[in-house]
């Protein structure tokens, strides 16, 4: 029986990828169309561009609790714009709810793989990515780079600023200060419970400039998220309006066949690094940007972060390095206003997911509060972003986020106090009888990507015995990473990590470490001969066993080091890997 005239689809304006599924012949075509018709769809419905909506919602994380209405708005907009939306979910990612804290980092690669595989086998002509918590946006951008279908990122938005006892509060520095006050006897357990009630007042990611806020802002600077989309509060009605805009934008991207490789160019990455420096953002963003660039074959090197940070002043006054919160950032003009201030330092001719140039996107953006967003002529501070360090502690590099470090510790020599893994540190460092002295440098190893998946083990509190002496900060050196909302002096991402044979594994308690951020160096006062002797001795000991099974084993076997993004070696484009031997797994 012939279909009604209304059932017969007109010719598409261009050839779509989904037609490989919907117009296939034989058994495959029959089953593909039958499965669509089971959903009540008609031929004229699935003759439209099919748009995947990648959703990260889960009750394990508060970052995404508001996504249902956003998904509905995107779907309605795609339908109104002549497309067919199809929602699919990914594994959940919530850094705050994992144990150990930040264990979600190692699953960034798994989520990117999952999205890539889903897109490869289903009929999608374009993808909308909804993400919020720390590793979701990076994973989605990595997947977008590998899939290279028309794609757009819709950030989930920050939570409303917390309010406690007459002052604004947010994740990270505010509650760490409260916990320190409790240890000094200034606050009670009931006080801390009251702060827990007040810190997060709505769904959404952290309201400070942590990793989530940093990466959503970077998605805008890369051109992969619409201008103005990152700072809108999660529960603000304007986020639903933005969701509708995204439904229209993805249809334009598909129609014009504009793909991530045309948007995330070398110049776009430079813009993203400039923004990272200007917002004084999370150090984890360095690894994420390296991983995204690696997927694209863009030759981004760790040193580029230092080069661009060195002459990019801080224009944003947000916690943990500043005074305000993401809601204040939004009200002050958000990322478009900040990029407008950065125009002399960035390339504004790059294309964005709206199909317009960055210059067009930020034209007319206005700073509404100079306390929050400053100008190049009168910045919040002189350049103080990411500094890249080298030396016999970190031959392949390490980084320090200078904006959250103590100025008096940026040039420091001290006695190394060494811990092998987080459990060892927790068991000994906070014991009142433990030998920790003023000026000591805490060295934590065995927490890098290969050894433990790179959790936020760099969150190391000052021991009580030092607090009692009035010492509120110390130098930490680790192959792990630091949470984006945390303030403190920490040399992180030491490469190679100790589990990969890095010299961090040769340091002994009592060695003198010299940190000099101005000179971009970190060294131990031990001769090369002595280090070689220690290496030979270490080589006679049994190697640390790989995890027994599952994804953890795959990760330990295949992850690259922090200085190249901690991606999997087998997911890098082969020409790029061949040109960059450090990215190729050793035989």
- Give domain limits for the chain: 48-191+204-362, 389-539, 550-583
CA 294 to CA 298: how far, in whole Å? 6
In this structure, what token pair is assigned to residue 130? 């909804």
User: Which whole number is the average pLDDT over 293-318?
Assistant: 97
Question: Beta strand pairing status for 411-420 and 512-516?
Answer: antiparallel
pLDDT for residue 12: 57
| Residue 587 pLDDT > 50 | no
pLDDT for residue 93: 82
What is the third-level CATH fold of 389-539?
Answer: Glucose Oxidase; domain 1 (3.50.30)
Tell the residue number behind the tokens 């714009």, with chain if given: 81
Tell the residue number behind the tokens 């934008």, with chain if given: 249
CA 434 to CA 442: how far, in whole Å? 13
Lowest mean pLDDT among 180-189, 404-413, 517-526, 552-561: 180-189
> Are 479 and 504 within 8 A, CB to CB?
yes
The answer for residues whose C-beta is within 8 angstroms of residue 175's C-beta and 6 or more apart is 169, 195, 199
Cα dihedral angle (218, 387, 133, 462), rounded to 10 degrees? -160
pLDDT for residue 13: 63
> Are 318 and 372 within 8 A, CB to CB?
yes
What does residue 495 show for φ and ψ, rounded to 5 degrees? -125, 140
| Residue 57 pLDDT > 90 | no
In this structure, what token pair is assigned to residue 471? 């010492």
The answer for residues whose C-beta is within 8 angstroms of residue 27's C-beta and 6 or more apart is none
Which has the closest alpha carbon to 271: 342, 201, 209? 342
> Are 240 and 72 within 8 A, CB to CB?
no
Mean pLDDT, the chain, integer: 92
What's the pLDDT band for 489 if we cut at 50, 70, 90? very high
CA 233 to CA 404: how far, in whole Å? 25
* CA max distance for the chain: 88
Which has the closest alpha carbon to 109: 578, 573, 555, 574? 555
CA 470 to CA 473: how far, in whole Å? 9
> Are 499 and 451 within 8 A, CB to CB?
yes
CA 95 to CA 84: how far, in whole Å? 33
Q: How many CB atoms lie within 10 A of CB 561?
A: 23
CA 519 to CA 397: how far, in whole Å? 13
CA 134 to CA 137: how far, in whole Å? 7
In the 8-state DSSP scheme, what is residue 506?
A: G
What's the pLDDT band for 177 if we cut at 50, 70, 90? confident
**Architecture of the domain defined by 48-191+204-362:** 3-Layer(aba) Sandwich (3.40)
| Residue 585 pLDDT > 60 | no
- Give start and end residues of each alpha helix (H) in 257-346: 260-263, 266-278, 284-296, 302-309, 326-332, 334-341
3-class state of residue 244 by DSSP: helix
pLDDT for residue 577: 38
In this structure, what token pair is assigned to residue 454? 């790179």
Which has the closest alpha carbon to 106: 560, 429, 477, 521? 560
CA 556 to CA 450: how far, in whole Å? 4
pLDDT for residue 375: 98
Question: Beta strand pairing status for 84-89 and 490-495?
Answer: unpaired
User: Which whole number is the average pLDDT over 21-25?
Assistant: 95
CA 476 to CA 414: how far, in whole Å? 11
User: Which whole number is the average pLDDT over 348-357?
Assistant: 98
CA 155 to CA 153: how far, in whole Å? 6
User: Going along 464-538, which residue ranges are E strands?
Assistant: 475-478, 490-495, 512-516, 521-524
| Residue 575 pLDDT > 60 | no
Please return the burial class of 507, using the count of CB atoms within 10 Å of its CB with bins 0-12, 13-18 and 19+.
Answer: buried
| Residue 9 pLDDT > 60 | no
pLDDT for residue 273: 98
């Amino acid at each position: 029986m012939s279909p009604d005239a209304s059932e017969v689809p007109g010719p598409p304006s261009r050839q779509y990828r989904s037609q490989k599924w919907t117009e296939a012949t034989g058994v495959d075509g029959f089953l593909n169309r039958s499965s669509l018709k089971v959903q009540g769809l008609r031929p004229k419905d699935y003759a439209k561009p099919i748009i995947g909506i990648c959703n990260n919602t889960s009750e394990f994380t508060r970052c995404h609790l508001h996504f249902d209405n956003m998904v509905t708005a995107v779907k309605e907009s795609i339908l109104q714009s002549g497309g067919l939306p199809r929602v699919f979910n990914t594994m959940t990612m919530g850094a705050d709810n994992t144990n150990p804290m930040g264990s979600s980092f190692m699953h960034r690669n798994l989520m990117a793989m999952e999205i890539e595989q889903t897109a490869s086998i289903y009929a999608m002509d374009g993808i909308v990515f909804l993400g919020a918590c720390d590793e979701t946006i990076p994973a989605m951008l990595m997947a977008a780079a590998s899939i290279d279908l028309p794609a757009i990122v819709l950030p989930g938005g920050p939570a409303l600023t917390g309010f406690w006892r007459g002052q604004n509060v947010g994740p990270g520095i505010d509650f760490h200060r409260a916990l320190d006050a409790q240890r000094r006897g200034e606050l009670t357990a009931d006080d801390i419970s009251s702060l827990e009630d007040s810190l997060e007042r709505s769904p959404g990611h952290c309201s400070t400039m942590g990793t989530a806020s940093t990466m959503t802002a970077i998605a805008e600077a890369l051109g992969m998220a619409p201008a103005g989309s990152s700072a809108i509060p999660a529960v603000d009605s304007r986020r639903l309006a933005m969701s509708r805009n995204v439904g229209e934008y993805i249809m334009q991207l598909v129609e014009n066949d504009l793909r991530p490789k045309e948007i995330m160019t070398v110049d776009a990455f430079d813009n993203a690094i400039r923004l990272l420096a200007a917002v004084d953002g999370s150090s984890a963003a360095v690894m994420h940007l390296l991983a995204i660039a690696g997927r694209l074959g863009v030759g981004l090197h760790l040193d580029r972060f230092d080069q661009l940070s060195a002459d990019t002043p801080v224009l944003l006054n947000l916690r943990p390095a500043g005074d305000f919160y993401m809601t204040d950032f939004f009200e002050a003009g958000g990322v478009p206003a900040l990029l407008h201030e950065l125009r002399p330092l960035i390339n504004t001719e790059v294309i964005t997911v709206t199909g317009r140039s960055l210059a067009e996107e930020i034209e007319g953006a206005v700073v509404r509060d100079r306390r929050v967003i400053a100008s190049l002529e009168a910045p919040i501070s002189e350049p103080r972003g990411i500094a890249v360090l080298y030396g016999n502690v970190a031959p392949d590099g390490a980084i320090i986020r200078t904006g959250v470090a103590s100025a008096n510790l940026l040039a420091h020599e001290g006695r190394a106090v060494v811990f092998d893994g987080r459990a060892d540190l927790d068991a000994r460092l906070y014991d009142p009888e433990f030998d920790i002295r003023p000026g000591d440098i805490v060295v934590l190893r065995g927490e890098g990507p290969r050894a433990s998946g790179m959790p936020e083990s760099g969150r190391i509190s000052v021991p009580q015995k030092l607090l009692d002496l009035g010492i509120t900060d110390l130098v930490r050196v680790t192959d792990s990473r630091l949470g984006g909302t945390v303030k403190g002096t920490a040399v992180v991402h030491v490469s190679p990590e100790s589990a990969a044979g890095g010299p961090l594994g040769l340091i002994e308690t009592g060695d003198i470490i010299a940190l000099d951020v101005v000179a971009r160096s970190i060294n131990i006062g031990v001769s090369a001969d002595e280090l070689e002797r220690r290496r030979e001795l270490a080589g006679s000991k049994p190697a640390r066993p790989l995890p027994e099974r599952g994804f953890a084993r795959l990760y330990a076997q295949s992850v690259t080091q922090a200085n190249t993004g901690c991606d999997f070696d087998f997911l890098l484009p082969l020409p790029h890997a061949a040109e960059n031997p450090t990215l190729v797994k050793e035989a």
